[in-house]
Amino acid sequence: MPVCPRCQHQVKATDLVCGYCGLQLKAHGHPSIELHRTTGGDVLCKTCAYDADDTCTFPQRPYATTCTLYQSITAEAERAQGEVRSRSQAASFRSVWQRYKLGIILLAIFGVSVLLTLLT
């Protein structure tokens, strides 16, 4: 369950404001629009992927302390790394399939035959 960034009380994921301290948690009064905010006076833009790639056109850049579009650089990097990893796993599976295709098919037929023999 998420916690309020100001008072650390637990809040529901759909709460618009914190029920304890009244901090605004969502933007535009909509439960699905996340309002990211900093704690301790930092600015969000320093760690935002849209600032890093210079694609942000928001007027509050580079001093935003609240933002609906904030995207963490590290989250972005981890997601890109995950995509690379899953792509390389798919490629290695494909190469194993190419190399041992006949053996895998024969093994599957043998397995099905054994299973049918045992069941009848």
Phi first, then psi, for residue 36 (nearest 5°) are -80, 145
The dihedral formed by the CA atoms of 88, 94, 98 and 104, expressed in degrees to the nearest 10: 120
Residue with structure tokens 């989250």? Answer: 75
Q: How far apart are CA 9 and CA 37, in angstroms?
A: 16
Question: What mask of x and - would describe binding to Zn ion in positions 12 to 51, judged by CB under 5 A?
Answer: ------x-xx-x----------------------------
Say which entry of Zn ion, ligand SF4, none residue 51 contacts (CB below 5 to 8 A, set by partner kind): ligand SF4
For β-strands 66-67 and 36-37, DSSP reports them as: antiparallel
What is the nearest approach in angstroms of ligand SF4 to the Cβ of residue 71?
7
Pick between residue 24 and residue 89 the one whose CB is nearest to Zn ion: 24
Handedness of CA 68, 18, 40, 81 (dihedral sign): negative
Binding to ligand SF4 (CB under 6 A): which residues in 33-62? 44-45, 48, 50-51, 56, 58, 60-61
Q: Which runs of E-coded beta strand occur in the chain?
A: 36-37, 66-67
Say which entry of Zn ion, ligand SF4, none residue 44 contacts (CB below 5 to 8 A, set by partner kind): ligand SF4
The residues that touch Zn ion, with contacts defined as CB under 5 A, are 4, 6-7, 18, 20-21, 23
The residues that touch ligand SF4, with contacts defined as CB under 6 A, are 44-45, 48, 50-51, 56, 58, 60-61, 64, 67, 69-70
